[in-house]
Every structure is written in C-alpha cells, then in structure tokens.
Amino acid sequence: MTIKTEAATSKFLEGFNCAQSVLFSFCDDLQLDKNSALKLSCGFGGGMGRKEEVCGAVSGGIMAIGLKYGKFEKSDKTSMDITYKKTRELMDAFAEKQGTFICRKLLGGCELTTDEGQKQFKELDLRNKVCVPCVQNAVEITEGIL
C-alpha cells in the first residue's frame, strides 16, 4: 500500500466520503488546499450525492487528473484531449479491477438514499467490504496515471 493509499483509507475511515478521500490524498502533489479539496469533492460521494452513479472514488481520481492535466485556456484542445484520455484510462482500469465504476452495481443494489438502504449498507459492512477497496484501487490507479 502506498502512502497516498494509506492517507485516503485513513481519511475515509475518519468519516469523509470516497471522493473526498481520494482527492485529499493528492493535495500536496497538486498544490491544492486540503479544505478546498474536501469541500469541492463533498457532493461526489456515494456516486454523486448518494445517487449511486459513477463511484465517488473514481470521481475523486478524475478531479485529480483534471487538476494536473486539465484545460484552462480557451484554445488548449491538447490539454482537454489528454485529460479525457487519462479519465477513460482511470475508468477502464477501475472497472477492470472492480467489475464496474457504477456505485449502485458495486454495492449490489443497496439504495443509499433510503433509511432501509443505509441500514443494509451498515449491516452488510459494505463500507469495509466494497468502499475501502474502491478508494484504495482508485488511488493506486490514479497515482499510476499522474
């Protein structure tokens, strides 16, 4: 396990969401203020506001990729192309390792927006069985891409 993977896992187990934990682990390398990173990525947890779409850990990695390679000048098509390519690389590698990058599939259909789903999430220990490995894999893959 790398230092970044350990940092992300620790942050996740402290109670921050998957997206926050992944992006946080890259703050020093990307010269990103840690509080800003946690706020920016907060809404991406649980597959974006617990809607269980793209896994938040993957979203955190995509944000890190964007911070390093993203377009910030109108005429810079090259940076956009590189960012999109690296984003696809992350998503494909994550899906290869986890089976998918869609949160609801990763969680076996557990509905995070309901009380019953939250109870099921806890009872089945999905946080440790599914989410921790997703956070770790997203960091490791992103680290290789950056």
pLDDT digits 0-9 by tens, 99-111 = 999 999 999 999 9
Q: Give the pLDDT confidence of 11-70 residue by residue, as tens digits.
A: 999 999 999 999 999 999 999 999 999 999 999 999 999 999 999 999 999 999 999 999
Strand, coil or helix: 102? strand
Q: Which residues pair with 54 in a beta bridge?
A: 102
Residue 102 backbone phi and psi in degrees, to 5: -95, 120
3-state secondary structure of 54: strand
